Amino acid sequence: MQMLYDSDTYSVTHMLANAVAVDALPDAPQAPTELVLLVPELARHGFEIVDKRTGKEVYLDGSWAELFQQHISAWQLKTPTQDEVEDTLEQYAELAQNPVLVH
């Protein structure tokens, strides 16, 4: 999990699928020259966007996550203003239906 953005209005977290190193597993063959990873069969990366004003969150995965990743890539090429970022996040936050719960 990696925090990408945090303001008074929104937070964006990149959720990464968990990969396990083979050499960390019991009875795993040792790979002395290279690290081999086991990636879950349905490895899905996604983004959680929290609208702090409404207390709701939306989780983007699949094609929604790919679309959002395109925004991030464009932002890396041309640094946006905070207003531009917040305007984009507002569009995604309209999808938010789930209340934020603390466990």
Residue 11 pairs in a beta bridge with 6, 50
Q: Which domain holds residue 76?
A: 2-99
Query: Distance between CA atoms of 38 and 85, rounded to whole angstroms?
Result: 35
Name the domain count of the chain: 1
pLDDT of residue 30: 55
Q: Which of 13, 24, 90 is nearest to 59 (CA)?
A: 13
Please, what is the Cα angle at 35 between 32 and 40, to 5 degrees? 140
pLDDT tens, per residue, the chain with 103 residues: 889 999 999 999 998 876 555 455 555 555 554 555 555 555 678 999 999 999 999 999 888 999 999 999 999 999 999 999 999 999 999 888 878 876 4
Residue entry with tokens 């990366």: 45
